[in-house]
Amino acid sequence: MTQILMPKATAVWLVDNTSLTFDQIADFCGLHPLEVKGIADGEVARDIRGADPIANGQLSRDELDKAEKNDKYRMVAQKSRHAELLKPVKKAPRYTPVSRRQDRPDAIAWFLRNHPEVPDSQVARLLGTTKATIDQVRNRSHWNSANIKPVDPVTLGLATQLELDAVVRKAADKRAKDAARRGETDPDGPTLRPASETGVVDDEDDRAEVEHTAESVFADDVDGDED
């Protein structure tokens, strides 16, 4: 059976505009009969606007008429003319001009040196390369290892600055979240210095000694003024 689009919205429309049984609507929409009953009672899909399956090409008028005349009849959905438009389009792999493909190892080396926190999968997607090539550059087993030097992928024209910033920021955020989850401090973030390094005196005796010394100083100043 063809899976219909917006099953609950379609069920809402069929409940409101036809004499079909709950079982017929449930079968057509791929729902449970009790869920359809809940729609009819106003307990389910209360805020969903009904979608006409005839108008959007998922059901023919003849099928609906047959079903209304025979409660044992099960309607057959048509392939919606909008189905192809609503299908998610898979993003094509990044195309890198032939003249730029020899620069990929340099860009990979730049990532490995400057942003090792970026996952190989993200590097591969951004540069249009493979994890195998990244491993070869990392392990210096690449056929051209002697000539590979780290170069910014933006400079090489393999990525835009916005794309590069987005990848680096995503990796940094993930690292910070992982560190927080483990109760650790981000090695690149600010850390608190010990009190002994800040010069802050916490010991009561030390504070008393400081206060005593201050009083002595003022007392000496007073004596000096009297003289």
pLDDT band at 79 (very low <50, low <70, confident <90, very high): confident
Backbone angles phi, psi at 187, to 5 degrees: -60, -25
Is residue 218 one of the residues assigned to a domain? Answer: no
**pLDDT (tens digit, 9 = 90+) per residue, 61-71?**
999 999 999 99
> Could you give the percent of the chain with pLDDT greater than 70?
70
Instruction: Check whether residue 74 and residue 115 sit in a common domain.
Output: no
Same domain? 114 vs 63 = no
Indicate if 76 and 114 belong to the same structural domain: no
The Cα–Cα gap between 49 and 91 comes to: 32
Tell me if 152 is assigned to some domain.
Answer: yes
Statement to judge: residues 105 and 79 lie in one domain? no
The residue from 36, 65, 86 where one domain ends is 86
Q: Is 60 exceeded by the pLDDT of residue 200?
A: no
Of 145, 166, 181, the last residue of a domain is 181
pLDDT in tens, 116-147: 999 999 999 998 889 999 999 999 999 988 99
Average pLDDT of every residue of the chain = 78
Whether residue 14 sits in one domain with residue 62: yes
**Is 196's pLDDT higher than 80?**
no
Q: Which residues of 190-204 are buried (b: 16+ CB within 10 A; e: fewer)?
A: eeeeeeeeeeeeeee
| 227 within domain boundaries | no
How high is the pLDDT of residue 141? Answer: 92
Structural domains counted in the chain: 2
Considering 129-133, 184-188, 194-198, the range whose residues carry the highest mean pLDDT is 129-133
Domain extent, residue 24, equals: 7-86
The pTM assigned to this predicted structure is 0.42
Q: How many CB atoms lie within 10 A of CB 134?
A: 23
Please compute the mean of the pLDDT values over residues 20-40 and round it to a whole number: 92
Domain-located, residue 45: yes
- Is residue 207 situated within a structural domain? no
